[in-house]
Amino acid sequence: MRILFTRVLLVAFAAAALGQSAPSNRMPSDAKSRPSDQAASNPATAAADTRAQCVVDQYAQYVVVDDIKINSKLTEGEDIADLGGLILAWMAWKDQTNNMQLENCDGLTPEQRFFVGNAQWACENDRPEDLRLSAITNPHSPGKYQVNGLVVNMPEFAKAFFCKAGQPMMKENRCRIW
């Protein structure tokens, strides 16, 4: 079972890495890298921009330390890629375990263990001065938000942990990237 969870986490990181390697500018451009007229009127582009803006707005609300918030325009590409990676990892895990009888372990359901396993990489203990600088200059959100910022957008997490409306990990308006 540990091997399976390890594979799933590798899928999450690989999917996030692939998403991060994509151009961050979603607007099609002409040969001189200027936004094309076609892009401005493309409904698919507008929908992608709306979905991306949801993630930007979400992360812009996170207070990292004191009154310093994440520079979500800077972290946008990483945050979107991380969300996509976790969604793909969940889908891969569900596909791989579809016909398996998974048992509860250490008081956690298999679904809960999936999310706990994903979160374990982000165990951090940063100094406030490092958090201040990182919040405004690092293209990666702090680990806490690379975990919590993702799972609040996944109904699978809310179901696994029995989250109720109004609780901190139960977002009213989830961001969807696809």
Its domain, for residue 125, covers 2-20+48-160
pLDDT of 65 > 80? The answer is yes
- Residues 110-127 have pLDDT tens digits of 999 999 999 998 888 999
Number of domains in the chain: 1
The reply to whether 85 falls in a domain is: yes
What pLDDT score was predicted for residue 172? 87
Q: Residue 13 sits in a domain of what CATH number?
A: 3.40.390.10
Phi (first) and psi of residue 16, to 5 degrees: -65, -40
User: What beta strand segments (E) does 40-116 contain?
Assistant: 63-65, 68-69
For the chain, report the end-to-end CA distance as a whole number of angstroms: 30
The reply to whether 42 falls in a domain is: no
Instruction: Please state the pTM of the whole predicted model.
Output: 0.79
Q: Which residue has the higher pLDDT, 69 or 15?
A: 69
- Mean pLDDT over 26-32 rounds to 53
pLDDT of 94 > 50? The answer is yes
